[in-house]
Chain A
Amino acid sequence: MTTTSSKYRVIGTRPVRPDGVDKVTGRAVYGADVVLPRLVHGKVLRSPYAHARILSIDTSEAEAIPGVLAIITSKDLPGATASANLGEGGEVNLAHLSANVLARDKVLYTGHAIAAVAAANPHVAEEAVRRIRVEFEELPPVMDVRYAMTADAALLHDTVFTDTAGEKASEPSNVAAHLIFEEGDLEKGFSEASIVVEREFVTATVHQGYIETHNAVAEWRSDGQLTVWCSTQGAFPVRTQLSHLLQHPISQIKVVPAEIGGGFGGKISVYLEPLAAILSKKTGRPVKLMMDRAEVLMATGPTPGSYMRVKMGVNAEGQITAAEAYLAFEAGGYPGSPIGAGCMTVFAPYRLQNVRIDGFDVLVNKPKSNAYRAPGATQAEFAAEVVVDELCEKLGMDPMEFRLKNGAKEGDWRAAGPPYAVVGNLECLEAAVASDHWKSSLEKQGADGKLRGRGVASGYWFNVGLMSSCSGRLNPDGAITLLEGSTDIGGTRASIAMQFAETFGVDYDQVRPSVVDTDSVGYTEVTGGSRTTYATGLAAHEMALAMKQRIRDGLATIWEVPAESITDERGTYTSGDKSADLKQVAQLFAEAGMQAQVSVTVNPTGHGGAFATHIADVEVDPDTGKVEVLRYTAVQDAGTAIHPSYVEGQMQGGVVQGIGWALNEEYVYDERGQLRNASLLDYRLPTTLDVPLIETIIVEVPNPGHPYGVRGVGEVPIVPPPAAIANAIYDAVGVRMLELPMSPPRVWKAIASQNGA
Chain B
Amino acid sequence: MSPTRQVFELARRDFVQRAKSKAFLLSMVLTVGIVFIIIPLSQLIDRDSGPTNVGLVGNLPIGSVPSIEQQANLLDIDIALTTYPDLAAAEQAITDGEIDAVLNGIDEIIFREESSLRLSAALTGGVATAQRQVVAGELGLSPEEVGELLYPVSFNERTIEPSETEEDRAREGAALVGLLLLYISILMFGQFVMMGVMEEKQTRVVEVVLSRVKPTQVLTGKVLGIGLLGLIQILALGGAILIAVTLVDIADVDLTGIGLKTLGLLILWYLLGYTFYSFMYGALGATVSRQEDMQGVAMLPVLLILPGFFLGQLALLEPGNWIAEVASFVPLWSPMVMAVRSTTSVVPLWQVMTSVLLIVLTTALLIKLGGRIYRGAILHTGSKTKLRTAWRSATD
- Do the two shown chains form a genuine complex with each other? no
Q: Please report B residues at the A interface, Cβ cutoff 8 Å.
A: none
